[in-house]
Amino acid sequence: MMKYKVWLSISFLISLTLAYESYPPDLTYPEEEMYPLFTDLVSVFIFVPASFILASSMISLLGYWLQKIGTWIIILAILTVVLTIVSVKLVDRFHIIPLSFLLFVGTLLGVMHFSVSMTLKKN
């Protein structure tokens, strides 16, 4: 149980920091952005996985504290909110097909993180 708490704490803090630091800026003044390609790459490789792992950590934490409430309702609600925030923020930058692929990969990373968390919780 100690490994589970350490895993959850570390993954929550790291993913929160990465998602906050790599949050894509608004494109209201695109001429002021010096490195637009770098910003897009940061969005793809850091922000999307970090936000889904953060959602997985939040789901695990809420599932740990609120065991009597339907866990699947909480999981679906948090996943829907994260998908909405990520897709709305990135829809200006990417075509729908690459964006769909990015969201699919982010969801897979979140599910893998959640399964590792549940495995550690059982052990």
For position 63, what pLDDT does the model report?
72
For position 97, what pLDDT does the model report?
81
Ordered by start, the domain boundaries in the chain are: 2-22+34-122
For position 39, what pLDDT does the model report?
65
For position 17, what pLDDT does the model report?
92
d(CA 11, CA 27): 30
For position 37, what pLDDT does the model report?
61
For position 115, what pLDDT does the model report?
87
Task: Please state, as a whole number, how many other Cβ atoms lie within 10 Å of the Cβ of residue 39.
Answer: 17
Contacts of 54 (CB under 8 A, 6+ apart): 12, 15, 16, 19, 82
For position 29, what pLDDT does the model report?
52
CA angle 42/76/13 to nearest 5° reads 45
Give me the tens of pLDDT residue by residue for the chain, a chain 123 residues long: 788 889 888 999 999 998 888 877 665 555 556 666 666 777 777 888 888 888 888 878 777 666 666 666 777 777 778 777 777 777 777 777 877 888 888 888 888 888 888 888 888
For position 27, what pLDDT does the model report?
57
